[in-house]
Amino acid sequence: MNRKYISSGSEFESKIGYSRAVVDGDYVFVSGTTGYNYETMFISSDPVEQAEQCFSNIEKTLIKAGSSMNDIVRVRYIFPNKEDFEPCWPVFKKYLRYANPAATMFVAGLLNEAMKLEIEVTARLNA
Protein backbone atom coordinates (compact mmCIF):
# COMPACT_ATOMS: atom_id res chain seq x y z
CA MET A 1 0.00 0.00 0.00
CA ASN A 2 1.27 3.47 -0.85
CA ARG A 3 1.54 6.20 1.70
CA LYS A 4 -1.24 8.73 1.85
CA TYR A 5 -0.57 12.19 3.26
CA ILE A 6 -3.32 14.13 5.03
CA SER A 7 -3.00 17.92 5.21
CA SER A 8 -4.87 20.37 7.41
CA GLY A 9 -3.78 23.26 5.20
CA SER A 10 -1.66 24.73 7.98
CA GLU A 11 1.20 26.91 6.76
CA PHE A 12 3.49 25.06 9.17
CA GLU A 13 3.16 21.83 7.20
CA SER A 14 4.88 23.30 4.15
CA LYS A 15 7.29 25.48 6.17
CA ILE A 16 8.53 22.66 8.36
CA GLY A 17 7.98 19.69 6.05
CA TYR A 18 5.44 17.45 7.74
CA SER A 19 1.88 16.21 7.30
CA ARG A 20 -1.08 16.43 9.67
CA ALA A 21 -1.24 12.66 9.29
CA VAL A 22 0.30 9.83 7.30
CA VAL A 23 -1.53 6.65 6.34
CA ASP A 24 1.01 3.85 5.97
CA GLY A 25 -0.11 0.24 5.73
CA ASP A 26 -2.87 -0.41 8.24
CA TYR A 27 -2.03 2.58 10.42
CA VAL A 28 -2.74 6.30 10.59
CA PHE A 29 -0.07 8.38 12.34
CA VAL A 30 -1.50 11.74 13.43
CA SER A 31 0.99 14.50 14.23
CA GLY A 32 0.89 16.31 17.54
CA THR A 33 -2.32 18.32 17.53
CA THR A 34 -3.02 21.43 19.57
CA GLY A 35 -6.20 23.16 20.67
CA TYR A 36 -6.35 25.73 17.88
CA ASN A 37 -9.67 26.06 16.14
CA TYR A 38 -8.38 26.44 12.58
CA GLU A 39 -11.73 27.75 11.32
CA THR A 40 -11.63 30.74 13.68
CA MET A 41 -7.86 30.78 14.36
CA PHE A 42 -8.69 30.97 18.07
CA ILE A 43 -7.21 29.05 20.99
CA SER A 44 -8.89 29.05 24.38
CA SER A 45 -6.85 29.75 27.50
CA ASP A 46 -8.63 26.82 29.22
CA PRO A 47 -6.76 23.47 28.95
CA VAL A 48 -10.03 21.50 29.09
CA GLU A 49 -11.46 23.48 26.17
CA GLN A 50 -8.18 22.97 24.33
CA ALA A 51 -8.42 19.21 24.92
CA GLU A 52 -11.91 19.23 23.37
CA GLN A 53 -10.58 21.15 20.36
CA CYS A 54 -7.57 18.82 20.04
CA PHE A 55 -9.86 15.82 19.75
CA SER A 56 -12.17 17.64 17.35
CA ASN A 57 -9.15 18.34 15.12
CA ILE A 58 -7.91 14.76 15.47
CA GLU A 59 -11.32 13.30 14.67
CA LYS A 60 -11.57 15.34 11.45
CA THR A 61 -8.11 14.11 10.44
CA LEU A 62 -8.91 10.47 11.18
CA ILE A 63 -12.11 10.67 9.13
CA LYS A 64 -10.13 12.10 6.17
CA ALA A 65 -7.74 9.17 6.55
CA GLY A 66 -10.50 6.54 6.62
CA SER A 67 -10.30 5.83 10.35
CA SER A 68 -12.10 6.89 13.51
CA MET A 69 -11.63 7.72 17.17
CA ASN A 70 -12.56 4.14 18.09
CA ASP A 71 -9.59 2.89 16.02
CA ILE A 72 -6.96 4.75 18.09
CA VAL A 73 -4.37 2.35 19.51
CA ARG A 74 -1.82 4.82 20.96
CA VAL A 75 -2.14 8.32 22.42
CA ARG A 76 0.58 10.64 23.69
CA TYR A 77 -0.23 13.73 25.73
CA ILE A 78 2.23 16.58 26.11
CA PHE A 79 1.59 19.19 28.80
CA PRO A 80 3.81 22.15 29.72
CA ASN A 81 2.08 22.21 33.14
CA LYS A 82 1.46 18.79 34.71
CA GLU A 83 -1.31 20.32 36.84
CA ASP A 84 -3.43 20.70 33.68
CA PHE A 85 -3.44 16.93 33.01
CA GLU A 86 -5.99 15.70 35.53
CA PRO A 87 -8.70 18.30 34.75
CA CYS A 88 -8.64 16.99 31.15
CA TRP A 89 -9.31 13.36 32.10
CA PRO A 90 -13.10 13.57 31.50
CA VAL A 91 -12.42 14.82 27.96
CA PHE A 92 -9.97 11.98 27.32
CA LYS A 93 -12.51 9.44 28.58
CA LYS A 94 -15.26 10.99 26.46
CA TYR A 95 -13.27 10.54 23.24
CA LEU A 96 -11.29 7.38 24.03
CA ARG A 97 -13.62 5.29 26.20
CA TYR A 98 -14.20 2.72 23.45
CA ALA A 99 -10.68 2.68 22.00
CA ASN A 100 -8.88 2.35 25.36
CA PRO A 101 -5.50 3.01 23.70
CA ALA A 102 -2.06 2.66 25.18
CA ALA A 103 -1.19 6.08 26.60
CA THR A 104 1.77 8.17 27.69
CA MET A 105 1.91 11.67 29.20
CA PHE A 106 4.96 13.92 28.93
CA VAL A 107 5.69 17.23 30.58
CA ALA A 108 7.50 19.46 28.09
CA GLY A 109 7.43 22.95 26.67
CA LEU A 110 5.39 23.63 23.55
CA LEU A 111 5.96 26.01 20.64
CA ASN A 112 3.64 28.74 21.91
CA GLU A 113 2.76 29.65 25.51
CA ALA A 114 -0.92 29.76 24.54
CA MET A 115 -0.79 26.00 23.93
CA LYS A 116 -1.74 24.12 27.08
CA LEU A 117 -1.42 20.65 25.58
CA GLU A 118 -0.62 18.70 22.45
CA ILE A 119 -2.01 15.27 21.59
CA GLU A 120 -0.55 12.74 19.16
CA VAL A 121 -2.36 9.53 18.16
CA THR A 122 -1.84 6.39 16.14
CA ALA A 123 -4.90 4.59 14.81
CA ARG A 124 -5.71 1.52 12.75
CA LEU A 125 -7.54 1.87 9.47
CA ASN A 126 -11.08 0.83 10.41
CA ALA A 127 -9.84 -1.95 12.66
The domain of 26 spans: 4-124
User: What pLDDT is stored for residue 127 in this prediction?
Assistant: 59
* Structure confidence at residue 1 as a pLDDT band (50, 70, 90): low
- Its pTM stands at 0.93
Annotate the chain with three-state secondary structure: CCCEEECCCCHHHHHHHCCCEEEECCEEEEEEECCCECCCCECCCCHHHHHHHHHHHHHHHHHHHCCCHHHEEEEEEEECCHHHCHHHHHHHHHHHCCCCCEEEEEECCCCCCCCCCEEEEEEECCC
CATH number at residue 65: 3.30.1330.40
Q: List, for residues 33-47, the tens digit of each pLDDT value.
A: 999 998 898 999 999
Domain count across the chain: 1
